[in-house]
Amino acid sequence: MEGGDGTSIRIWTDPCLPSAFLPFGSSPVAQAFEEAKVESLIDPVTKEWHSATIQSIFSPRDAKLIMSIPLSSIPVADKLVWPYSPTGVYTVKSGYRFLCRSQNFEDSDYQPVETNLWKKRMVISDDLCDHCKSSPEDTVHAL
């Protein structure tokens, strides 16, 4: 989520915390806040976080992350973004890179190179069926 006025971001079910690996809150759902949106944590006049409310219903980790989110002084609509790509749009490539980083892998660990299994493929010298060795392999013959 990209923060705006908080009117469309649900506190307990939307991934709204600025944390790469745990963007959902880890605090138990607070009574009377089950369906609350982020806007309920923002003072509508000052456009600042209700820090006392946040600290009373969230774990210290969650409260710190919430209050680290900068708030806009002008009304801006919330929008869903993928924070791990420059455009904010999810791509398979950005998802792959996120997973590699989350596992402490470098992208190059899984690039096709001679030593890993992605590169281990046979070079076929002829087009004969591998099973009968008498007919050229085509879609029907292969199945």
Q: Which of 30, 76, 86 is nearest to 53 (CA)?
A: 30
Ramachandran category for residue 73: left, alpha or beta (phi over 0 → left; psi -120 to 50 → alpha): alpha
Nearest to 27 by CA among 50, 8, 55: 55
Q: Does residue 141 have a pLDDT over 80? A: no
pLDDT band at 72 (very low <50, low <70, confident <90, very high): confident
Mean pLDDT of 76-104: 80
Is the pLDDT at 23 greater than 70, yes or no? yes
Q: What value does the mean pLDDT of the chain take?
A: 77
pLDDT of residue 57: 93
Q: What's the rounded Cα separation, in Å, for the pair 36 and 10?
A: 6
* This prediction's pTM: 0.59
